[in-house]
Amino acid sequence: MNDRDLVVNAQGLCRSFGPVKAVRDVSLAIPRGTIYGFLGPNGSGKSTTIRMLCGLLTPTSGEARVLGLDVRTQSEKLKQQIGYMTQRFSLYEDLTVLENLQFIAEVYAIAGKHRKTRVEQLLSDFDLQEKRRQRAATLSGGQKQRLALAAAILHEPKMLFLDEPTSAVDPQNRRDFWEILFGLAEQGTTILVSTHYMDEAERCHQLAILHRGVKVADGSPRDLGRQIGASIVEIIADDANRARIAMNDLSEVASVTQLGVRLRVMIPDSIAQPAELVRSALQEKHIEGHVEQVPPSLEDVFVAVTEMRGQEEQAA
């Protein structure tokens, strides 16, 4: 893939706020029509990176082009060609649904005839027709989310940035929201979405995991599972607590995660027959349980790469 096929092409992006390095040496290559995810906790650099790519923050160092435009020197032109939706509802709560969309249409100087058609289309597509005369402040969380997304794509941007857009809505609204995103991607819109939900990250075509401002892994969710350098052994035990203690006593175990009566045990690939190692340790402690080696989940990947990064930082 050459650079012309990339909607986002960033090299070595860094951003500091005084002595704090919020983003360090992040490089990205995002092709057209892709839903690309940023996965990481608060403070990992997701929002800061997005704001640099939107032209809202100037990088301390590094370069980035979005839709072929330089984020440093062509930021004003770039802002007219992208959509941006923040975590917090940022429209006017004292205006109605219709008035908000009409105002955004004026901001983007959408021609009068097309403006009316486009607004009506979005009211219908986002199930907001019956709410058109309702003030935005009185909408539910899911309705506000749909209105914010409708406003972000009103001018039909080729690139859409979504900064933790589903953090304040229920699971059903999150699923509905993602169905809309898949539809936009199929129409050719490139989407960069940040999240701290594992199930959402798994929906992305490509994914970058950010940890303390550093990109510690990227690839498709499936590919990331193959790259963690560890095996996952699952235990289903009646006494999960005793089983967890037994696993923590093993020097070969990198981490143990408990999910109800299930335990997911991470063991480095350098250890041969990881399931047998776990099975023997349980038998030695007289703990009954079913043991099986399973494919790594995205949560396993996240734990592996962030712990590895933490060990590297301590060693440095």
- pLDDT given at position 167: 76
pLDDT > 90? residue 303 = no
- pLDDT confidence of residue 109: 87
Report the alpha-carbon angle 97-98-99, nearest 5: 95
CATH code (residue 277): 3.30.70.100
| Structure confidence at residue 111 (pLDDT) | 84
- Tell me the pLDDT tens digit for each residue of 128-173: 999 999 999 999 988 999 999 999 999 999 999 999 888 777 888 8
Whether residue 83 lies inside any domain: the answer is: no
Q: Looking at the predicted structure, is the pLDDT value of residue 308 above 80?
A: no
Residue 307 is assigned to a structural domain of this protein: no
Instruction: Summarize pLDDT for 4-60 with one digit per residue, the tens.
Output: 679 999 999 999 999 999 999 999 999 999 999 999 988 899 999 999 999 999 999
Residue 122 inside a domain? The answer is: no
Global pTM reads 0.87
Comparing C-alpha atoms, which of 10, 49, 12, 9 is closest to residue 210? 49
pLDDT band at residue 218 using 50, 70 and 90 as cut-offs: very high
pLDDT of residue 37: 96
| Neighbouring residues of 280: CB distance < 8 A, sequence distance ≥ 6 | none
Let me know if residue 103 belongs to a domain: no
- Number of structural domains in the chain: 1
Q: Domain limits at 288?
A: 229-295
Above 60 in pLDDT, residue 312? no
Determine, yes or no, domain membership for 241. Answer: yes
Q: How many other CB atoms sit within 10 Å of the CB of residue 140?
A: 12
Name beta bridge partners: 36. 192, 206
Instruction: Report whether 168 contacts 98 (CB < 8 A).
Output: no
Higher pLDDT, 134 or 302: 134
Tokens 């819109």 belong to residue: 189
Asked if residue 76 belongs to a domain, the reply is: no
Taking only the tens place, the pLDDT of each residue in 58-98 is 999 999 999 999 999 999 999 999 999 988 878 889 999 99
**Is the model more confident about 67 or about 196?**
67
- If one compares 277 and 175, the residue with the highest pLDDT of the two is 277
User: Does the residue 258 lie in any domain?
Assistant: yes
Q: Which residue has the tokens 């007219």?
A: 80
Write the burial class of residue 269 (CB in 10 Å: 0-12 exposed, 13-18 middle, 19+ buried): exposed
Instruction: Give CA–CA dist 127/252, Å, rounded.
Output: 53
Here the contacts of 142-147 (C-beta below 8 Å, separation 24 or greater) are 142/169, 142/170, 142/172, 142/173, 142/176, 142/177, 144/89, 144/91, 145/89, 145/169, 145/173, 145/177, 146/177, 146/180, 147/91, 147/97, 147/100, 147/101
Query: pLDDT tens digits for 226-276?
Result: 888 899 999 999 899 999 999 999 999 999 999 888 999 999 999 999 999
- Asked if residue 87 is part of any domain, the answer here is no
Q: Which residues pair with 190 in a beta bridge?
A: 159
CA 13 to chain CA mean position, Å:
18
| Nearest C-alpha neighbor of 217 from the set 40, 18, 30 | 40
- Asked if residue 315 has pLDDT above 60, the reply is no
**Pairwise CA distance, residues 71 & 49, whole Å:** 12
- Segment 202-214 shows an average pLDDT of 94
